[in-house]
Amino acid sequence: MAKARFLLQAVTDKDHSSAIRETLGKDLERLMISVAFAKSQGAAVIKPALEKNKGKCSVFVGIRNDITSYQALEVILETGADLYVVDTGSRTTIFHPKIYLAQFKNSATAIIGSANLTFGGLHNNIEASSILDLDLNLAEDKEFVDQTEVVFNTLIENHPEHVIKINSSDDIRSVFESGRVVDETVVIKQKSSRPSKEKGDSIPLMKLFKKIPHPVTKKKAGKEFVDEIIIKENGQEEVTHRPSIAKPNSRDYYLVWQSKELKERDLNIPTGGNTNPTGSMLWKKGAMEGIDQRHYFRDEVFADVGWAVDAALPHYERAQIKVHIFTKGEYRGTFELKISHNTDTTSKSYNQNNAMTNVSWGDAKSLIAQTDLLGRIMSLHRKDSAPPEFMIEID
C-alpha cells in the first residue's frame, strides 16, 4: 500500500522544488508531469531530469490562461520530452491538474497537489501536495499508476483539438501568435490592452464530464447577487445565494444580464433553409427568469442612453450604445451598436410576453457570427458613466 507524506510549502521548511529534484534525480523508467501554468524558471527545475531521460517523459501544460509562457514551452521542448499543451477553448474553464508522477523499476512516486511549474509554485507560494511512495509489486499501487497513464492517454485520444502536441518551435510560435501563451519579456499593464477585430481561433468548447452550469447573477435590492449551482457528491444540486464578486478586469462594470447557451439564431448563423440572418439579436430573459423582458432592457438596462422616436416607424425607439466586446477572453474592440425598442403595447408580441428590445450587431457581426461560440454564455455588463457604457463577454 502507498505511503503518503504531506508537503506544505512556505509554511514548513520544505519546498516543491527540492521534493521534485530529489524524486527526479533517480534513474527513471517513465515520467509524466501535468500542470496548469508553466514559466521558464519553473521549467528550469525539471529540465535536467527531462534531458537525462529523453524519450521517457511526457509533459502536459495548460494554455489560454494568461500565465503559461512561450519561454517555458521552449525550455521543455529543448529537452526532447513529449510536450502537449491543453486548451479548453475557454478562459473560464482551464486545464488545472498538478501532478508529478515518476516511475522507477519497482516503485513510483507521485506528487499531487497545488504546485504549478512556476518559480512561485515551486518555491515561495503556500502550496500543498501529497507525496505518494508506491510499490509497483503491489496490485493496488500499480493500478493507481496505470490508471493515471490511461486517463492522460485517453485525454490525448478523445480531445485532439484541445490536447495539442508541440513538435517544434513553429508550433510554439503558432500558439503564441494566437494569444494563448504569453511572452515573459513583455510587461502587460492591463489585460487584453490591444483590441483584435479578427475572428479569433476556431477551437470549440471542450466537452467535460459533469460540467457545472455557469453561475447566474441577478439584481436584488440594488445589489448584485449570484445564484451558484453546486453539484454535491450524491448528485443533487444545491443553490447558494450570495453577493457576487466584482469582475477583476474592471470594478466599474456590473452584470445586468446573462444568456442561456447561445443558439444559431442568437449568433446570426441560422442553418435552416427558410431562416436568414437578421444581423440583430433580441434581448430575451436568458438565464434571468425573474425579469419582464418586455420592459427590463428599455426601462432599466438601457434607460438613460438617449432614446429617440423613429420618424418612419413611430412605435419604435432607437439609440446608440458604446460596447466593448470580448469573445473567448480576447478583447475584440469597441463598437457603436444600435438598439431598438418596440413601444407598441397592443401588439401580438407584447401580449404574448415576448421580447421587445433588440441589438443590431453592425460592424461587430463578423465577430459574433462564429460557430465556435455556440453553446457559450453571453454576459452583458454596464458601467454607470454619462452616457453609460457596456461590455459584452461571450465565453
Residues of the chain short of pLDDT 70, as ranges, are 187-202, 205, 207-251, 271-277
**pLDDT per residue over 89-117, tens digit each?**
887 789 999 999 999 999 999 999 999 99
pLDDT at 384: 87
pLDDT at 191: 42
Residue 186: is it exposed, middle or buried by C-beta count within 10 angstroms (0-12/13-18/19+)? exposed
Cβ neighbours for 145, distance < 8 A, ≥ 6 positions apart: 101, 103, 108, 110, 134, 136
In this structure, the number of other CB atoms found within 10 A of the CB of residue 42 comes to: 27
Q: Calculate the dihedral angle through the C-alpha atoms of 151, 157, 161, 162, rounding to the nearest 10 degrees.
A: 10
Q: What percent of the chain has pLDDT over 70?
A: 82
pLDDT at 251: 63
| Summary count for the chain: helices (H), strands (E) | 9, 19
Q: Nearest-CA neighbor of 103 among 142, 140, 48?
A: 142
| CA terminus-to-terminus distance, the chain | 44
Q: Which neighbouring-strand residues pair with 57?
A: 31
- C-alpha dihedral sign at 246, 250, 251, 254: negative
How would you classify residue 360: left for phi > 0, otherwise alpha for psi between -120 and 50, otherwise beta? beta
Could you give the 3-state DSSP secondary structure of residue 88? coil
